[in-house]
Chain A
Amino acid sequence: MIEINNLTKNFDQFTAIDDLTFTVKEGEVLGFLGPNGAGKSTTMKLITGFLSATHGSVSIDGFDISKSPIEAKSLMGYLPEGAPSYGDMTTLEFLNFVAQVRGYRGEEILMRVQHVLDEVELNSVSQQTIETLSKGFKRRVGLAQAIMHDPKVLILDEPTDGLDPNQKHHVRELIKNLARDKIVIISTHILEEVTAVCSRAIIIAQGRIVADGTPAELEARSKYHQAVSVRLSENYDLAADLTGLAQVGDVEKDSEDELVFRILANGGNSIFSQVSEIAQAKQWPVTEFHVSRGQLEDVFRTVTQQTQGAD
């Protein structure tokens, strides 16, 4: 379990991380979201012990990162931002080095290195120097070193940045497979990734947590949650038919298509059946009719733009 208490980091006068408190349990894949400069990478650098906190504490399975750094670091695998690695080494040499530092000796080194080479599909470039590799391969070398010792805690700073869609899919599968009894924290600004792999998401803005929940819970906070989306064949005044229904809110016209409307639901309750009954009764000129899910993107924009809205 990772426990983070009142974590604060100041750079000179600037507060990068402001009193973060949260815990992550085994089996959770935590997506760490936030606009650029919100403090995602700084938080990860504090958790992994690269930076030391101004106030507060980070403990990994009971080991405080500032008091017992070696023990805490042994439990973690970390892919830093940009996946840095020693460019003049070959993939194999680099992974051998990491395996040795992780405490493997003799035969074990070969086995572990071969295992991670297979896991992230690096066999084809194992003899190439890292500086000659493409961005995608470099990122995978970074992932390979992070999972070398089958760590209990995996911290990945933008793991799929620079990968093509196939590789992204592969990395996500990898993370999902790893996650069963582990803690994974990934930072990303790709929101679909959160829905795809994370069991929990934390959104931070200006160093503070502004939202924390499962992706579904966060989606439910969208104003489009449970909204009914309607495409008409000709113009029709929907709002007039819907007045008086307590659970139905505003009707919004789509900004791109004149004939697409969104009927918002008040309080996040389902309005599908009510609206469809009215549509049939009043014979709306409907060509498409469906319930839209809340968009994580709306929630992200809403919570990160109103900086005072911390909860």
Chain B
Amino acid sequence: MGNLSIIFKRELQSYFATPLAYIFIVIFLVVNGFLTFDFGGFYARGQADLSPFFAFHPFLYLFMVPAIAMTMWADERKTGTIELLLTLPINLRDAILGKYLAAWALIGIALSLTFPIWLTANYLGDPDNGVIFAAYVGSWFMAGAYLAIGACLSACTKNPVIAFILTVTICVIFVLLGYPFLLGMLSGWVPQIIIDAISSMGFLTHFDSISKGVFDIRDFLFFGVFIGAWLFASAVVIELKKAS
């Protein structure tokens, strides 16, 4: 067992040692159900797919994921445990990945507990399960992108609330970048290549195509690279700011 998995285990256990993990999972499931069935018109649409379920995820994650991410490093710095952690014989890389993967796993657990909706769709009709599976994975990757932003901004401050607000703000920007309304405003006076570049940085652009069943590895690659870049930035921030 390497240090990465030891840290991963400790972090995941500490989510479940406090009510945090349970509250997160319950709220996630309740809000998901509410959005899907009431706002999404899951039954009224008369279609056996999970589009109304996935369509709300970018907005749901906007508040849920930063709440998980905000304490990740801010608490370590506030309580001084960062000094303990980083003077143990552990690579900074293992520490960052271990903590990140634990939080990502928690989101994964919450997401996988929405399986009754998938079962419902199968009971009522004959959905394309391949598309649904891809959409689940895509949704989890998108959550990972939010989480990576949160991890980095949590490393910037000792105050989790500041980390939360900053993370929500940055995430909103990345959601809006792919929003058709914003892109529509730009078209006509901004060169198309710039609009394409902006749009390609947006979460919605990639998530929409994944959740509609257009399986393009580049969409997953986008989230993967995005996560890697923000985690690398966290390493830089931690190195710079651990003294203060």
Q: Say whether B83 contacts A74, CB under 8 Å.
A: no
Q: Say whether B89 contacts A101, CB under 8 Å.
A: yes
> Among the listed B1, B7, B79, B86, which residue makes an inter-chain contact with A87, where contact means beta carbons less than 8 Å apart?
B79
Interface string of B52-84 (1 = CB under 8 A from A): 000000000000000000000000000111011
- In the bound complex, residues from chain A placing their C-beta under 8 Å from that of B30 are none
- In the bound complex, residues from chain A placing their C-beta under 8 Å from that of B83 are 45, 50, 80-81, 84
Closest to A145 in B: B84
A50 to B92, CA, bound (A): 11
Q: Say whether B88 contacts A102, CB under 8 Å.
A: yes
Closest to B84 in A: A84
* Interface size grouping (class) on chain B: 20 to 34
- In the bound complex, residues from chain A placing their C-beta under 8 Å from that of B88 are 73, 98, 101-102
**Residues of B216-239 whose CB lies within 8 A of A:** none
Q: Say whether A85 contacts B84, CB under 8 Å.
A: yes
A82 to B79, CA, bound (A): 9
Pick the most buried of A69, A74, A82: most chain B CB atoms within 10 A of its CB: A69
Closest to A69 in B: B89
A11-B243, A84-B80, A97-B6 given; A48·B87 CB < 8 A: yes
A80-B83, A84-B79 given; A97·B10 CB < 8 A: yes
Closest to A45 in B: B83
- In the bound complex, residues from chain B placing their C-beta under 8 Å from that of A76 are 87
- In the bound complex, residues from chain B placing their C-beta under 8 Å from that of A89 are 10, 13-14, 17
**Residues of B1-42 whose CB lies within 8 A of A:** 1, 3, 6-7, 10, 13-14, 17-18
> Among the listed A11, A78, A85, A129, which residue makes an inter-chain contact with B87, where contact means beta carbons less than 8 Å apart?
A78
B212 at the interface (CB under 8 A from A): no
A88 to B75, CA, bound (A): 12
Closest to A101 in B: B88
Q: Say whether A101 contacts B80, CB under 8 Å.
A: no
Closest to B92 in A: A69
Closest to B91 in A: A70
B194 at the interface (CB under 8 A from A): no
A290 at the interface (CB under 8 A from B): no
Q: How far in angstroms is the closest Cβ of chain B from A85?
A: 7
